[in-house]
Amino acid sequence: MSLPPHAMSARKAWVAAMRAREAMQSRIVGAFGRGITGVGPGPTELDLLLFAKLAVAERRLKRGVGRAKVLWPCVGAPAPSNGAAPPDRGERA
């Protein structure tokens, strides 16, 4: 089953945020390694702040992917047993 377009867009945004966070994480780990061995300074406050913001954005986007999958007009949901079409958004059953 493929994802609906808005869920696919949400997933692409989440993957991009995850890659950005992973890149910043690698940068921080490298800086810590250089700092420990005395080859260079450790990570800057800005590095740590950006990492935290990227991690928060990634988590929010991941939740959005889950909501996008659920909010799509009930893909895979069982059809009503009486054969009636499901109500439109905002209408009562």
Residue 19 lies in a domain: yes
**Containing domain of residue 25, as a range?**
5-71
The CA distance from 44 to 49, in Å, is 9
pTM above 0.95, yes or no: no
| pLDDT single digits (tens) 49-89 | 999 999 999 999 999 888 877 655 555 555 445 454 445 54
Work out the percent of the chain whose per-residue pLDDT is above 70: 69
Residue 90 lies in a domain: no
Query: In sequence order, what are the residues at sequence separation of 6 or more whose Cβ sits closer than 8 angstroms to the Cβ of residue 9?
Result: 68
| pLDDT single digits (tens) 24-37 | 999 999 999 999 99
Query: In sequence order, what are the residues at sequence separation of 6 or more whose Cβ sits closer than 8 angstroms to the Cβ of residue 13?
Result: 61, 64
Number of domains in the chain: 1
Residue 49 lies in a domain: yes
Tell me which of 1 and 42 has the higher pLDDT.
42
